[in-house]
Structure 1
């Protein structure tokens, strides 16, 4: 199912929204991640991790935007920063050809995993035991955190030519999705010993994938894959691997940007080649809101797990926190 979303001619009619501005970074943002953790007997707390080309990934309070800490040590742009599901560890992927693992509480460096080219994406397995990485080499690697000196598992995207990996995400403790520059999203069973069965299936979009997100809906527990590629945002049902919607956007995702689905599954946000942050209806593709606040193109964005707010990161070096229903 494909729907064309018309480009807006004016800002949102719901009124101008003034977001919380989070300064601190000095270069374009690359990735944002929200994570909610239970701290002992206290109420759950949500954190916001950010990767940036200034080499200094940061951790913030997701509600106030207040800075908590910085992981310092990379010598190149940081393209990806992910907290593990328990909130004790952090992993960062960098242009310095390395992935670093940090103590998320103290900020100290724990492990360094060398690569042969720029690393664009990193993700933790649901049980926090393994780390998947991918980038310009076109090789998906899986590291065992309990045995960091052990040689990682390796899966080549295309043996005939280099196909870079833009995003990788674990579905479960055995399967990793790798979104690639050839428009394919590959499902890898990383525990399969037979090489002919390791690539279990693929999904196809029109252009190289810029952004990919897995979202489990709050009302029916259905898992939706959101993909931003070319000038479209496409949604797949992960149970059936079928396409639900594919909407043409008034922006493109060739150099920057992405999309994020609201936890309810009723709306989504998208940003990319211009300064606007847009909200769309998931079922029709109709634009609902359009906000301007950044002074550079939108590089990354994600909804808060409770759906009440969302964060955007820009080429202007700032993160902005917006209300879902202003």
Structure 2
């Protein structure tokens, strides 16, 4: 009987403190993509699709909680505990803009047209900065008063050029229109939202809250939300972008990376980290997924397959 190849991760070294966030770029015309990582060491890192280091963005003076790439990978935006969000040129590594805040910036995203960034954090405010007018005051997205959420804003994403979405510790997911600066829809969860991923290929948001993982239409529609309750509290979750038949999770309560089928059945438990797994994400081609703890580990969706730095030499289990 032939045994299944064992999952052997690649370790992407370089960070010196816990990795707080991971984000892949979309698939590029040449079939490659990039990976950007955030870390409490304050130095976001850019990597090739193979995991090879490209460069480090130097300039933050505190932990970096979120970094994301533009669709064409020419820009990166980061949010930090130094009360700033920065926009970077990924070719030169230079900071192009730095936007001050009044508290820790926990989450950032750049619009598909590279025209705006959206930020959120411990001020409970969602801000929109116009990159064409970087010295102008930001627009504030709010319903009433001056805050967007009744708790820390944990994640923001762009869904098209005019629709950012924000998720907070108040357990509310909100969609906004930057043209009117108003909320257009919302969805409440019974507990704080811990992570949100925008899966562009599947047109879904993947949201974790308590022990639940919810797969939500990216734009507010009448389409149903698929929600699962797990036996543990996931720190983050990511949906396979092609097959849509599985998702990966991390957890703050153990050191494992788990693979579940879309109905919630646990398919695999992967061990290799030596601390809580803060973040996970599938690559845009679905061939690998990355997990962040004290290190970054890259795992193959199909162990043993020749891909990137894996040469098909994984040993059997």
TM over 0.5, shorter chain: yes
Q: What residue in structure 2 maps to residue 10 of structure 1? A: none
Show the 5 A alignment for 1:1-326.
16-36=6-26, 38=28, 43-63=30-50, 65-156=51-142, 159=145, 162-192=150-180, 198-217=182-201, 222-238=202-218, 240=221, 242-253=223-234, 257-263=235-241, 264-272=243-251, 273-282=253-262, 284-314=263-293, 316=294, 318-326=295-303
Contact 2:27 2:285 in 1 (8 A): no
SS at 1:101 equivalent: strand
SS at 1:199 equivalent: strand
Q: Per the alignment, do residues 14 and 135 of structure 1 end up closer, same or farther by CA in structure 2, a change over 3 Å counting?
A: farther
Structure 1, residues 287-311: CA drift from partner, whole Å, max 9, x if none?
A: 1111101001110010010001100
1: CA distance, partners of 2:268 / 2:143: 38
Structure 1, residues 236-258: CA drift from partner, whole Å, max 9, x if none?
A: 123525543222223214xxx20
* Shift in Å, 1:162: 4.2
Q: Per the alignment, do residues 58 and 192 of structure 1 end up closer, same or farther by CA in structure 2, a change over 3 Å counting?
A: same
Q: What residue in structure 2 maps to residue 9 of structure 1? A: none
SS at 2:225 equivalent: strand
TM-score between the two structures when normalised by the length of structure 2 = 0.88
2: CA distance, partners of 1:14 / 1:92: 40
Contact 2:150 2:170 in 1 (8 A): no
Contact 2:36 2:68 in 1 (8 A): yes
Report the aligned-residue RMSD: 1.9
Contact 2:111 2:161 in 1 (8 A): yes
Unaligned runs of 5+ in 2: 304-317
TM-score between the two structures when normalised by the length of structure 1 = 0.86
What is the aligned residue count?
296
Structure 1, residues 64-104: CA drift from partner, whole Å, max 9, x if none?
A: x1111000111110000111112111111000100011111
* Shift in Å, 1:115: 0.1
